[in-house]
Structure 1
């Protein structure tokens, strides 16, 4: 018996089997057809099945006058089903695509409420999957984009699950009619200026008129592409494993990769591995912007090239790639006198410094490299700081923010660099915790 022959409640339970032990099931409830059917199905299953705690969440975007009545409608539906409803109002940032901005605002709320072992359930179905594939194909998406919508993915501290992806819109309409459900018709769904609506109302009916199985086949293609993306991800992990050798600078807490193992790969494998690595850190560049990667690789050995991306920068230094974002991209503000060296000194935009052992006598101050500094080493006399940093292969982006300890004009220590970070004879060291912000995970 094919899965489409199994009744809708049984199929839904089958698709949710892996999450039966979750703490909460929360339905993203717009009040439209898909989420109304999903909520109704779950409310009725909960009467005979032991399910996680069920609730609903409605996001009010306030983008059109008609929407003001929707929270009330959703509340009435939830009251009738005895399901608690949370209504969240969001402000949508105006931008190039209002649809995208509204979606971003919606998912930001979903992510913030989704705690550990929570599942957020959304009502997208097979027709949506086919439209997504078609829409992305027309925008020139790669394998990842053409995988369309995954049936599950991490969201917030929990999981987002789409349990109706193998159900057609027609099946949902039939269920709604059989149970006399009332739902909201969003006026914007009729606006043919919106690309998705144009595809839904104008293009897909033409395709299914000629090829009745078009949507099922497109959804199947999306599943094949998702499998292909899985293989690409596995390949990326293999390639990245070779580039993740540790360094003397792991204490920086900056994500980094060794360049040579990556540069030895074919161009396509380089881009695949790097996309996989960058994905949690930044919005990825489109095809045209990958020339920045070639420039980074091809720059002369003594250069310090930078590739600017949406949410940070990729720097090449000391034979490695370094992902910098947040405070790392801002010049640190010089701190000045360190009046109570017994307690840690917080540096503006540059973490914290602290002493261990017997402190040198003052007056002490923390400053940053300006150029021309000399340091006296017990066994080597006065040495140029630039040369000392070169000897230790200190990455270029760190040099201007390494805390330097001065007594008057005398350079006493360079934080964290073995041999330069204190005085072995007097038994003290200068420690630097570079930044206490989460490095870049968006």
Structure 2
């Protein structure tokens, strides 16, 4: 197993239950991959993947299996958004009402193009819309300026990328996963989180497997034949295996030395990169404050901000920007300046985050595909190559880019392997 994120750990757990011996190699000094709970700003904060929902079937089954608690941040009492250069204020309900006509029009044909999110390539003519960016489809609607800017801001928050680089089909996939309801899609992607953090899920899976898990162990080369493979670590250790599961994200899978090399589709997707290229920032401000959320635009360093934790004398906000090169999550002055687009009254005390784009083991945040990538690459990204198999949230059918997607692919890969291998 190359990679000790959620997909790798689920695969290892399931294969172990089938009596197979599994070795997990994780390059980082921790498990979890792009989910990572760390204690900062006086709280346990999620540096990466965070939110889940009961309409995400695979992760909710794990919540039930391990009895994990689920909570949410405080409900916003006020909303801020931009209409051009003007800051407007209102309630969550008024903002949702503002964007509703645009959302309905943009996503009207969701179930036409992706009638079954568990089979996203089923529609034979899907390539006809897969070439469009979300920006292009949003521009086609010719919305009034206030509605246009509000819808644009909401989608920048979802995509964590410039909308001109993200595929329209990525928006369709998320909405198809909630049977065409953009309201439910919005809730499922950004509200509920684990009470004990994603750490609690990682620890529960690890405790439930007898795999040989090795952290701080980077795989540097894989040589494979029809009979098996040899994995060489950066430290020179050679591990012989009948099968190898790779769980590397799309953006870095081509960096691994594989002989014979991976198929052209997998390598091309890695060279093109995913559209998501943003930043996540945690911000502690002086309190007390009323909980709020705010949207700006892709042109601003922070396009989304909202209250996630309330204390007696402080509050912690979470914010996202579409381009990690525009702001560092650890630059206090830059974050202060970015928040002033909405509010001048916030006293920023501390900031923190993790630059996933600079992280050599990810080089992306959550998956948002570029135009054409869904129809050109997904089938090949999921397909085994001889004794090599592939799992990871980037290659999921239903909730690609989410914790749920990682679990889905881990279960699928373990099932495929279990039918081909007899225990030793």
TM-score, normalization: structure 1? 0.23
Highest relative contact order (Cα 8 Å, sep 6+), 1 or 2?
2
Name the one with the larger helix percent.
1
User: Larger radius of gyration, structure 1 or 2?
Assistant: 1
TM-score, normalization: structure 2? 0.23
